[in-house]
C-alpha cells in the first residue's frame, strides 16, 4: 500500500511488532493488496474498519510467512501461446508441444479444447 487514499488503515512498521501481528519487519504484502482490492470493490466495508482489521489480523495469523505466486499473463500472451500450440500440434504430439513451449500437457489440451 504505497499510496493511501480512503482505504482501511494499515500498521506502520513500528506498530506491526505487536502480538496481533507477529511480523517483525512489516511491509505491504499480498494481504494488504487483497484488502485494498476488496475495499475498492466493496466500498461499504470502508465504514467498518474494526471488523476489516480483525479479519486481516486473522488472515495474517493463519498465513504468516507463506509465499504466494500469482502469475500475471495478459490475454495477448495467452492468445499467442494458443497460436503456437495450434501451429505445432500434429494430432498426437502433446508432450512434444508442451516441452517446446515450456508448458504442461494439460495446458496444451486446454488450448486445443478452446473453440475458435
Q: Which of 16, 67, 105, 12 lies closest to 4 in space, CA to CA?
A: 12
**Helix count and strand count (H, E) for the chain:** 5, 0
Domain range list for the chain: 15-63, 75-113
Among the residue ranges 43-57, 60-74, 92-106, the one predicted with the least confidence is 60-74
- For 75-113, the fitting CATH number among 1.10.10, 1.10.4100, 3.30.1460, 2.20.25 is 1.10.10
Cα separations in angstroms, 42 against 2, 30, 38, 53, 56: 20, 18, 6, 15, 15
The reported pTM is 0.41
pLDDT in tens, 22-65: 444 445 567 777 778 877 888 887 777 787 788 778 877 877 76
Amino acid at each position: 500500500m504505497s499510496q493511501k487514499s480512503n482505504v482501511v488503515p494499515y500498521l506502520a512498521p513500528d506498530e506491526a511488532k505487536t502480538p496481533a501481528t507477529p511480523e517483525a519487519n512489516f511491509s505491504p504484502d499480498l494481504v494488504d493488496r487483497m484488502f485494498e482490492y476488496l475495499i475498492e470493490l466493496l466500498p461499504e466495508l470502508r465504514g467498518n474498519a474494526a471488523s476489516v482489521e480483525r479479519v486481516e489480523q486473522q488472515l495474517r495469523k493463519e498465513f504468516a510467512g507463506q509465499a504466494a505466486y500469482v502469475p500475471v499473463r495478459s490475454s495477448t500472451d495467452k492468445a499467442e501461446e494458443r497460436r503456437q500450440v495450434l501451429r505445432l500440434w500434429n494430432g498426437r504430439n502433446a508432450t512434444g508441444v508442451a516441452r517446446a513451449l515450456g508448458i504442461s500437457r494439460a495446458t496444451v489440451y486446454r488450448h486445443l479444447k478452446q473453440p475458435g
